[in-house]
Amino acid sequence: MLASLSLRGRDSRALLPALFLLLLLPALAMAVHGLNDRLPMREWPALLAPHTLPQIIASASLLPRSLAALLCGAALGLAGALFQHVLRNRMAAPETVGTAGGAQLALALTTLFAPSLLDGGRVWVAFGGGLIAVALVFALAWRQKLEPLPLILAGMIVTLYCGALGSALILMNEQYLVSLFVWGSGSLVQNDWSAIRLLAPMLAAGMMACLVLLRPLVLLELGDEAARSLGVPLFALRAAALAVAVFLSTAVISSIGLFGFIGLAGPTLASFAGARTLRQRLLWSPLLAMALLWLTDQTVQQIDRLLGDPLPTGAITALFGAPLILLLLPQMKAHGGLWQGTVSVIRSAAPWRRVILLAMLVLAAAIVALCWGRGPQGWRWIGDLHELTPLLPWRLPRSAAALAAGGLLAAAGMILQRLTANPMASPEVLGITSGAAIGMISMLYIAPSAAGFTHVVAASAGALGVLLVILLLGRRSAFSPDRILLAGIALGALFDALTAVLTANGDPRAVILLNWTMGSTYRVDGAQATLTVGIAVVLLGLTPLISRWLTILPLGDGTSRSLGLSLGRTRLLLLIMTAAMTATATLVIGPLSFIGLMAPHLARMLGLHTVPSQMAGAILSGGLLMLAADWAGRMVLFPFQLPAGLMATLFGAPLVMWLLTRKR
């Protein structure tokens, strides 16, 4: 919509500065007004050598806060422009390559295990963590030559994994890690110039590097083939430019905090306002991002004065950033070919024998989960039914619900991977889990003491909402796989932002929220377990009916059509089914787990290649993983309990990363 308003040709030269001033002037006015409130204008010359307290506050708090907003905005805008140029993806942003997650995890680990390092070294700890995470993401995407989509998916998985580990640490040490909540949501509050002194030289270095890289980067615009024929070392150039972008974004993250979507908003605004050449984008993206973050922060300060409770600026930027991605989606060019899956023809000699073995394994695990556990007398195997009965109300619903949820997610993942011909698709990526989570959280805050049933309703409404968004977006592009996946990523980010806002003010409910988002089966009672298992039986029972579709769809649109498949209707039905499966599972084990991603691959590794046997294998192994994760989560830190979804992530993410690096 905005794009249609954007002017082309010569007029754009006037539009860019106009937009810049439109953002900058109100911010400047608010900043001057705010400073004047604290320190009358005639005293401003004293800011160079402050003596009185108002002078010191103005010079050590207000000025650096404005400057921090400007520097962060500029660095993130520049990084975003580089990412977008190199990855040829208008959705690339500093956050999508894993820096934030890595930095946050490094800080959490250091706070717990080597607090002395934080004294003066806080910035470098976060910096190191961010760099390691980015290196991991690049390593995972290396085989695909850092192509756009693999890189962003790898970034998302690493970010999720770091986030899961970080959340586990926060859960285990509720009160000590409050400061990470505040940092994680991007506060610009400053008390001195130290962050500025750290950030300014890093930004300057990044800008120098950009100048050096500018000429070869311009050649990238000609396309890979043309650039290569001009002798541009494409791979080295991309790696260098990405390194600069990563450096800039980690610098911001480590010295100030997270402001993810500013890095996306800057370049986006720049191209909407008509920046066409790389030179224009590298100039205007940082300027617009800078003005935007400053304006946001000044507005947040005004709201703070009204509300009393400080809002984290970074989380606010993310709240409007996520819808921005959704707005961008229709303009994305669908990637063709990159993710076309191959249909395997190798078949295991006796697939069903393996499926039956797997089923027996699930049964054995279920018995262990019910009978073996820790209690006041330590580890005990309780085989006697009479003795077991009083414990069953606690063990049975959780185990049964975990098993059913794992199976549902696995089936949903299987459908999605076949549907999109994309081995990295999963319900977590689709965003349905995030939608359910947003619904559930809203209920937790609107009516905190409401009964569990209302949570079920709220989460289903959220999942349905996301489904509708996906259907709307999807219809325009005939359910193009890539767009649906990217919409999912955007919704996931929106959910993260919402969580950050809600947890930053230190409300004790944040812990309940964290527990649930990490997939705790704690609140599952008999009724919910029955419901979950019932829905699972129905939905999973339907899967044999869709085997034919799932076999044909990966062969490509043309083949599918020629075999008599109505593409739009088939995809719609499969999406609805996936959504129902995902929503049911999310209610039990939260929005984050890799079960849906992993289980289909596990089944394939077990030699199950035909659709019906792979589906059965995926459901069984997904259920088994979740059951094991739930049991382990209850036992590892007894009497404290770790959420099942979190445990499944800790088990599963390394496996997923290995899958990513595997040759296709």
Contact residues for other proteins, defined by CB under 8 A: 50, 53-54, 56-57, 60-62, 111, 115-116, 118-120, 122, 171, 174-176, 178-179, 182-183, 187, 189-194, 308-310, 373, 375-376, 390-391, 393-395, 448-449, 451-452, 505-509, 511-512, 515, 520, 522-523, 525, 634, 637-641
Q: Copy the structure tokens of residue 138.
A: 């690049």
The least distance separating other proteins from the CB of residue 183, rounded to whole angstroms, comes to 7
Residue type, 155: G
Q: How far is the CB of 101 from other proteins (least distance, A)?
A: 19
- The residue among 190 and 249 lying less far from other proteins, judged by its C-beta, is 190
Query: Please, which residues have CB within 8 angstroms of residue 550's CB and are 6 or more apart in sequence?
Result: 414, 415, 418, 419, 611, 615
Query: Which of 219/388 has CB closer to other proteins?
Result: 388
Q: How far is the CB of 373 from other proteins (least distance, A)?
A: 7
Nearer to other proteins, 604 or 634 (CB): 634
Angle, nearest 10°, between helix axes 115-141 and 148-172? 150
Q: Which is nearer to other proteins, 190 or 578 (CB)?
A: 190
∠ CA 535-620-392, rounded to 5°: 65
Contact 154, 142 (CB under 8 A): no
Which residue number, 171 or 400, has a Cβ lying nearer to other proteins? 171
CA of residue 575 relative to chain centroid, distance: 21
Report how far apart, in Å, the C-alpha atoms of 99 and of each of 121, 127, 162, 204, 355 are: 18, 9, 10, 20, 40
Nearer to other proteins, 480 or 641 (CB): 641
Separation of alpha carbons 417 and 551, rounded Å = 11
User: Are the C-beta atoms of residues 4 and 272 closer than 8 Å to each other?
Assistant: no
Q: Which amino acid belongs to residue 9?
A: G
Burial label, 309 (beta-carbon count in 10 A; 0-12, 13-18, 19+): exposed
Task: Return the amino acid letter for 397.
Answer: P
User: What residues contact 493, with CB distance under 8 A and at least 6 apart?
Assistant: 95, 260, 261, 318, 321, 322, 325
Q: Which is nearer to other proteins, 65 or 354 (CB)?
A: 65
Q: From the CB of 623, what's the least distance to other proteins, in Å?
A: 22
Q: Which is nearer to other proteins, 453 or 658 (CB)?
A: 453
Enumerate residues 6+ apart whose C-beta is below 8 A from 243. none
Query: How far is it, in rounded angstroms, from Cα 42 to Cα 45?
Result: 7
Helix pair angle (432-446, 481-504), 10° resolution: 30
Least gap, CB of 557 to other proteins (angstroms): 48
Supply the minimum distance, in Å, between the C-beta of residue 662 and other proteins. 37
* Residue listed under structure tokens 């999912």: 488
Q: How far apart are CB 522 and other proteins at their closest, in Å? A: 5
Q: How far is the CB of 209 from other proteins (least distance, A)?
A: 30
Q: Name which of 4 and 449 has its Cβ closer to other proteins.
A: 449
49 forms beta bridges with none
What's the closest the beta carbon of residue 652 comes to other proteins, in angstroms? 22
Of 331 and 389, the one with the shorter C-beta distance to other proteins is: 389
Q: Nearest 5°: CA angle at 657, between 652 and 662?
A: 125
Burial class (CB in 10 A: 0-12, 13-18, 19+), 261: buried
To other proteins, the closest distance from the beta carbon of 194 in angstroms equals 8
Cβ nearer to other proteins, comparing 520 with 593: 520
In the bound state with other proteins, the residue whose beta carbon lies nearer, of 246 and 644, is 644
8 A C-beta contact, residue 590 and residue 599: no
To the nearest whole angstrom, how small is the minimum distance from the Cβ of residue 394 to other proteins? 5
Burial of residue 606 (CB within 10 Å: 0-12, 13-18, 19+) is buried
Shortest Cβ 117–other proteins spacing (Å): 9
